[in-house]
């Protein structure tokens, strides 16, 4: 593999049909040249992030900009299908996750001693002609996970007394009791 991940986190094992973005065309272009990729579609499986649907592709636009000793990758309009467990009714549901914009800098062609020793710094090995954006995608998607996913704004959740799923059936427990410790917890 031509690409070094720098200090990228490779905890996740993954599979993508088209994971590598070529920078070969950009290498000899002037600074500021932008390579535009539209509607990239990648099938991804991140073993440590089961929320990301491995069947539905991750779709996004990507601009790669050549700068001095650096390539900047801009992701735009990313959509991927994710499976979350509803925080009200505890039933898994599939929903699209959308990321409007994200970017990452990849340092290129600097002597090793000049590369900042920083976890947030990523670099491309000298001579490489591709950027592996898998760790970038994985981290951005995880960052955008909702804290309290809900299957629907109208999800009625579980009865706090008997635990029944109120979307599916009703129960005879008293509703709206002021003593209900969960009544204030409606998400």
* Contacting positions for Zn ion (CB under 5 A): 86, 88-89, 151, 155, 159, 161-162, 171, 173
Q: Rounded distance, CA 49 to CA 82, Å?
A: 10
Q: Shortest distance, CB of residue 182 to Zn ion, whole angstroms?
A: 11
The answer to whether 49 and 58 have CB atoms below 8 angstroms apart is no
Q: Shortest distance, CB of residue 162 to Zn ion, whole angstroms?
A: 3
Q: Tell me whether residue 88 or residue 134 sits nearer to Zn ion (CB atom).
A: 88
Q: Tell me whether residue 128 or residue 158 sits nearer to Zn ion (CB atom).
A: 158
Q: Tell me whether residue 23 or residue 158 sits nearer to Zn ion (CB atom).
A: 158
Counting beta carbons within 10 angstroms of the beta carbon of residue 119, is it exposed (0 to 12), middle (13 to 18) or buried (19 or more)? exposed
CA 38 to chain centre: 18
Counting beta carbons within 10 angstroms of the beta carbon of residue 174, is it exposed (0 to 12), middle (13 to 18) or buried (19 or more)? exposed
Q: Tell me whether residue 117 or residue 172 sits nearer to Zn ion (CB atom).
A: 172
Q: Shortest distance, CB of residue 178 to Zn ion, whole angstroms?
A: 16
């Amino acid at each position: 593999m031509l690409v070094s991940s720098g200090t990228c986190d490779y905890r996740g094992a993954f599979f993508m049909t088209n994971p590598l973005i070529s920078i070969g065309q950009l290498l000899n272009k002037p600074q500021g040249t932008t390579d535009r990729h539209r509607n990239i579609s990648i099938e991804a499986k991140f073993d440590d992030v089961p929320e990301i649907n491995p069947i539905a592709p991750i779709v996004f636009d990507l601009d790669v900009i050549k700068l001095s000793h650096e390539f900047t990758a801009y992701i735009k309009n990313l959509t991927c299908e994710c499976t979350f467990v509803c925080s009200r009714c505890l039933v898994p549901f599939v929903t699209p996750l959308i990321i409007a914009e994200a970017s990452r800098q990849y340092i290129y062609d600097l002597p090793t001693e000049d590369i900042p020793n920083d976890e947030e710094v990523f670099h491309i090995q000298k001579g490489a002609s591709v950027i592996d954006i898998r760790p970038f995608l994985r981290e951005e998607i995880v960052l955008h996970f909702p804290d309290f996913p809900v299957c629907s704004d109208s999800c009625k959740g579980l009865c706090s007394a008997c635990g029944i799923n109120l979307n599916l059936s009703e129960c005879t427990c008293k509703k709206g009791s002021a003593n209900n410790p969960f009544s204030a917890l409606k998400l």
